């Protein structure tokens, strides 16, 4: 197998509703366009990474219902070059679905029915289909499967020498104590700045690093900061590096949909680490991948390797980018 990267978590069928602006509470706003596409954070990351790494190097692990949506999802993963042998089909359950309202400025609201996504368990990683994937991979991205599932997968990856990146998303609301069993086997812990605020009471990189180091040593924290860029806290070294967001307008580009930017970011970071790049260059590529996605209407609008390199060259020509922290 040439497999390098596995991604575990949600796969959803997205119903995107494009409108001039998001409604206020109780207000009706006309929908200008409806788009029905494949989504889900982990599946998005898998596709984003596959576009950068190429066919057959990325696998997705997750669960779908026994329904027509599942057939479409499997077909789309295959077309994108993602190995879907680790997908569990759950009889009697609906596949995950998300209803997403998107304003003209790219702002969005997401309402998700998780469905079969909640049915993937830690015990499933003892099955040959998923065990083979773990043993073959160099890097594993864990997004938002149930916490028990994330804990079991992180432990299995550590046993096999696989680098673990974890973005628990909504599960970060369960508190640090609940996350510690998985964090103890995590190399890169990824949240946006608001999620770090809720979890640790701060999104300041230095304080994030200090608070995590007190409870679980060695983990590197990545802070997604949206239009402000991103920051990586390099664990016990005490160093932080911040990366500005790609200045799209200066490059003649425009943000049209920010849904999926974080997934493209993680796909960009994970693929860069698979290729052996250092953390700072991986963060640069991740930030560029997320910025590129914002210029595309589709949820899975991450760049190919050629498109990413072209954007990086234009960005570097402006003479800006990363800056060291404390």
pLDDT given for residue 184 in this prediction: 96
Question: For 132-163, what is each residue's pLDDT tens digit?
Answer: 999 999 999 999 999 999 999 999 999 999 99
What is the CB neighbour count within 10 angstroms for residue 254?
A: 10
Provide mean pLDDT across the span 296-312.
Answer: 93
pLDDT for residue 319: 79
pLDDT at position 299 over 90:
no
Q: For residue 322, is pLDDT > 90?
A: no
Q: How confident is the model at residue 43 (pLDDT cuts 50, 70, 90)?
A: very high
User: What's the CA gap between 209 and 197, in Å, rounded?
Assistant: 13
Give me the sign of the Cα torsion angle 153, 226, 25, 14.
negative
Say whether pLDDT at 122 is over 80.
yes
pLDDT value for 10? 95
What is the reported pLDDT for 323? 54
3-state secondary structure the chain: CCCCEEEECCCEEEEEEECCCCCCCCCCCCCCEEEEEEECHHHHHHHHHHHHHCCCCEEEEEEEECCHHHHHHHHHHHHCCEEEEEEEEECCCCCEEEEEEECCCCCEEEEEECHHHHHCCHHHHHCHHHHHHHHHCCEEEECCCCHHHHHHHHHHHHHCCCEEEECCHHHHHHCHHHHHHHHCCCCEEEEEHHHHHHHHCCCCHHHHHHHHHHHCCCCEEEEECHHHCEEEECHHHCCEEEECCCCCHHHCCCCCCCCCHHHHHHHHHHHHHHCCCCHHHHHHHHHHHHHHHHCCCCCCCCCCHHHHHHHHHHHHHCCCCEEECC
**Greater pLDDT, 40 or 297:** 40
Q: What's the pLDDT at 237?
A: 66
First to last CA, the chain: 42
The predicted pLDDT at position 2 comes to 78
Distance of alpha carbon 162 from the chain centroid: 18
Q: How confident is the model at residue 217 (pLDDT cuts 50, 70, 90)?
A: confident
Q: Rounded to two decimals, what is the model's pTM?
A: 0.91
Give residue 236's pLDDT band: very low, low, confident or very high (50, 70, 90): low
Q: What is the chain's mean pLDDT, rounded?
A: 93
Q: pLDDT-derived band of residue 77, with 50, 70 and 90 as boundaries? A: very high
- 257-267 per-position pLDDT tens digit: 888 899 999 99
What's the whole-number mean pLDDT along residues 168-191? 96
Q: Which pLDDT score, from 0 to 100, does residue 320 have?
A: 63
pLDDT category at 321 given cuts 50, 70, 90 is low
Question: What percent of the chain has pLDDT above 70?
Answer: 96
């Amino acid at each position: 197998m040439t497999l390098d990267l596995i991604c575990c978590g949600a796969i959803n069928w997205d119903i995107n509703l494009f409108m001039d602006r998001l409604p206020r509470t109780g207000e009706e706003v006309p929908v200008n366009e409806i788009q029905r596409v494949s989504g889900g954070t982990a599946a998005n990351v898998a596709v984003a990474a596959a576009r950068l790494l190429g066919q057959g190097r990325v696998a997705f692990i997750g669960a779908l219902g026994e329904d027509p949506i599942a057939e479409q999802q499997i077909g789309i993963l295959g077309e994108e070059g993602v190995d879907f042998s680790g997908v569990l089909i759950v009889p009697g359950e609906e596949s995950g679905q998300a209803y997403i309202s998107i304003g003209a400025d790219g702002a969005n609201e997401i309402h998700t029915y998780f469905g079969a996504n909640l049915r993937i368990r830690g015990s499933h990683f003892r099955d040959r289909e998923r065990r083979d994937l773990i043993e073959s991979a160099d890097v594993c991205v864990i997004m938002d499967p149930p916490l028990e599932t994330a804990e079991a997968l992180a432990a299995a990856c550590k046993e096999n020498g696989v680098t673990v990146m974890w973005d628990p998303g909504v599960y970060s609301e369960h508190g640090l104590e609940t996350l510690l069993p998985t964090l103890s086997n995590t190399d890169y812990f990824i949240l946006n700045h608001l999620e770090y605020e809720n979890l640790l009471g701060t999104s300041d990189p230095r304080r994030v690093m200090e608070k995590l180091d007190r409870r679980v040593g060695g983990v590197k924290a990545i802070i997604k900061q949206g239009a402000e860029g991103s920051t990586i806290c390099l664990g016990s070294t005490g160093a932080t590096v911040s990366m500005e967001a790609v200045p799209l307008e200066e490059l003649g580009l425009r943000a049209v949909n920010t849904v999926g930017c974080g997934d493209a970011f993680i796909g960009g970071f994970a693929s860069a680490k698979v290729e052996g790049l250092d953390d700072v260059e991986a963060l640069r590529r991740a930030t560029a991948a997320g910025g590129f996605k914002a210029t595309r209407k589709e949820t899975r609008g991450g760049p190919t390797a050629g498109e990413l390199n072209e954007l990086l060259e234009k960005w570097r020509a402006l003479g800006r980018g990363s800056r060291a922290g404390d």
